[in-house]
A and B are shown apart, each in its own frame.
Chain A
């Protein structure tokens, strides 16, 4: 695990990958095992139908709770999933370069014959691999849970939703990594990425219910992540391509800035 920067990155985050993976498996199991109870409670859907639209957009409408996919869309892919995955990704992203710089270990790493671009890209690859582990864990939790609870879950839709979640996590994580690499400031890196995530979430929820503002939804990362309810309707390729494009630009700028700038002692 000490062969190169990529493997060292994974080694450093092995505990965090393990704990977060356990977390998302637990989330997957919890939600799927809970689903039959909600589905069978007819009073609950009647109650939801009476709610104002704005609340329905948050907790989901009645339909949400009558299909497994609709339920998972609200319980896993609207808030809890993105939150856990984003926190993991942002922490990994901030510690990658800015974290090393602030703990003064970057100098000695850079004293080795390795380019800054390579360090950045290997650390980014480490982050993406960690996220992949979380995604697989979430998939296992959901699919295993649905089997145990005895209901059919649309596997393709679930995998697509997880893939979309993966892209969201990668976007926020690599944004944190990029800001950190470009500036050397861990707090700024985490702040920007968390800000983009939290503001994106709030904006998406808010803009989707205020009809006149609906066209402005495109400013939020959450819009690209799941505005079309991926688990129900499949991946929106243009949306994911947008996130991937933004991330690629951020990483490219970060490589350029990281190569150009002075590294702090």
Chain B
């Protein structure tokens, strides 16, 4: 199977400033890949390198089997791009803009019109008169309209309201089902969790880890709080597999569980349980755990 995106030691410095350092990524064709990281971590730098807006200081990127520098035009023929803040010719109407870009791509407006309908976008308005959300819809339509094999989306939903975000997520899942590759950068982990197969975490220009979303979720901690009818002993729970941070106060137990909660539930069932609460593990928690970990390592390493 070919790789949709593959980078080797991809590095970008803006003069003295760090963009990304030694990024090695393999993204399979047909995969939905999320690149996660806080602002300034290097997500946009990666994307601009893929699209040849900027050139690597060293290393290389191969997109759809082609070199990002030498074959950029052919790559862009098969790639749709949507930035977080879609900015384009304000004086054109939506229809004119889509017509222009469709012409540059040698395509037609068939799919654009379907997408515009779906996202409730008025084609007759001028871009300059649109709200930020509506402008982003235009960006979304132009990115998807040529039915490209690869979609590169940089924080695509940051300007969309929750309802549109959901519609966008459905669109992404449809595209994925149709075999498209999607590369999505985000700082919203809940979003990545819904739509991505794998996630890369980028921090201060370096790719920290790449994992299956399911694996990340498995590593996630579930916070559980159980209220018993009678006082319990911490010892009953501390030894359980995957259970940590056990705190018992009178007849109330709080703890963290990694992976399955089965052993905890079975142990608890030996007592009378009044109430049980668990906080759904979000990638946020995994992510923050990862970050605090790494920050810890780095500061101790630097010392």
Question: Interface residues, chain A, CB within 8 Å of chain B?
Answer: 2-5, 8, 12, 103-105, 107-115, 260, 262-263, 265
Contact = CB atoms under 8 A, between A and B. Distances in A.
B228 interface: no
Interface stretch (B70-78, B218-226, B253-261, B278-286): B70-78
Contacts of A109: 104
B184 to A, nearest CB: 16
B51 A113 contact: no
A265 B53 CA distance: 9
Nearest to B77: A113
B89 A110 contact: no
A12 B90 CA distance: 11
B55 A4 contact: no
Given A260-B55, A263-B54, A114 B73 contact: yes
B88 interface: yes
B44 interface: yes
A2 B100 contact: yes
Contact of A3 (B48, B54, B87, B103): B103
Interface residues of B, number: 31
A108 B87 contact: yes
Contacts of B72: 115
B68 to A, nearest CB: 13
Interface of B: 14, 44, 48, 51-55, 72-74, 76-77, 79, 81, 83, 86-89, 91, 96, 99-101, 103-106, 139, 142
A112 B76 contact: yes
21 contacts: A2-B103, A4-B103, A108-B81, A108-B86, A108-B87, A108-B88, A108-B101, A108-B142, A110-B51, A110-B52, A111-B79, A111-B81, A112-B101, A113-B73, A113-B74, A113-B105, A114-B73, A262-B14, A262-B53, A263-B53, A265-B44
B54 A262 contact: yes
Given A4-B104, A262-B53, A105 B88 contact: yes
Contacts of A263: 53-54
B87 A2 contact: no
Contacts of A115: 72-73
Contact of A112 (B14, B74, B86, B104): B104
B56 to A, nearest CB: 10
Contacts of B48: 265
Contacts of A113: 73-74, 76-77, 104-106
Contact of A2 (B81, B86, B96): B96
Contacts of B51: 110-111
Contact of B105 (A5, A12, A112, A260): A112
B87 A107 contact: yes
Contacts of A105: 87-89
A12 to B, nearest CB: 8
Contacts of B142: 108
A107 B73 contact: no
A37 to B, nearest CB: 44
B47 to A, nearest CB: 10
B108 to A, nearest CB: 13
Contacts of A12: 91
B15 to A, nearest CB: 10
